[in-house]
Amino acid sequence: MNDLKVLEKLVKFPKTIFTVFDLGKILDIKDRNLRTVIYRLAKRGVIQKLGGGWYSKYGEIITPEKVAGEIYYPSYLSLKTVLSKEGVVNQIPRQIYSISPKKSYKIEINNVVLVYRQIKKELFFGFYKIDNQYVAFPEKAFLDLLYFVSRGVETVSFKELDLARLNKKKLQRWTKAYPKSVKKYIKRI
């Protein structure tokens, strides 16, 4: 199969990134030859290796935030990633943080670490979809952060938070679903 036909098949694939297994299905290639074909496609510049067993079409602009939900589903962007974008925290995190009801997971894609934190299923809410990606509302990202701070998994300097950017009514409503350890932080704020 020539490179143009491979690209045509990749364009029809609904995701922007794909695994070795996906490539086998897309190209209809058996396991025995698949790794060799992938190696050659990458060498010729038809696909690019992102890391962690993930690939994209060559030249495709892949931002870790954009593909975070494709790598580990279901999940939504949250914690310091969202709070930084919303101006609640003044530092830019070095990692991309997502929340999932599935087991915690970490992977490096294009030299950026994606961190997935596991949360109870009953706390998996408070997000919206934009550009095929799920993102926590800032109030939910803040509550998620407090949840993980209370469990000793994350840290935060409360002095550096701009809580005026959060909707207090939404924050109070969603706090009801969280454990007492999170409610204690909310009362102090």
What tokens does 3 get?
């490179």
| DSSP conformation class of 144 | H
- What is the mean predicted confidence (pLDDT) over 93-103? 96
pLDDT for residue 179 is more than 80: yes
Taking 3-state DSSP, the helix, strand and coil percentages for the chain, each rounded to the nearest 5, stand at 45, 20, 30
| Sheet containing 54-57: order of strands | 17-19, 54-57, 47-51
Q: Half-sphere exposure (CA, 13 Å, Cβ side) for 101?
A: 7
For residue 46, which phi and psi values (nearest 5 degrees)? -80, -40
Select the highest-mean-pLDDT range: 48-52, 89-93, 126-130.
Answer: 126-130
> What per-residue confidence (pLDDT) applies to 188?
80
> What per-residue confidence (pLDDT) applies to 2?
87
Confidence of residue 66 (pLDDT cuts 50, 70, 90): confident
> What per-residue confidence (pLDDT) applies to 95?
96
String of DSSP letters for 72-115? SSS-EE-HHHHHHHTTSBSS--SEEEEEESSPPEEEEETTEEEE
Q: Half-sphere exposure (CA, 13 Å, Cβ side) for 73?
A: 9
Provide the 10 A C-beta neighbour count for residue 66. 16
4-61: pLDDT as tens digits: 889 889 988 888 899 999 999 999 988 788 999 999 999 999 999 998 899 998 888 8
Confidence of residue 166 (pLDDT cuts 50, 70, 90): very high
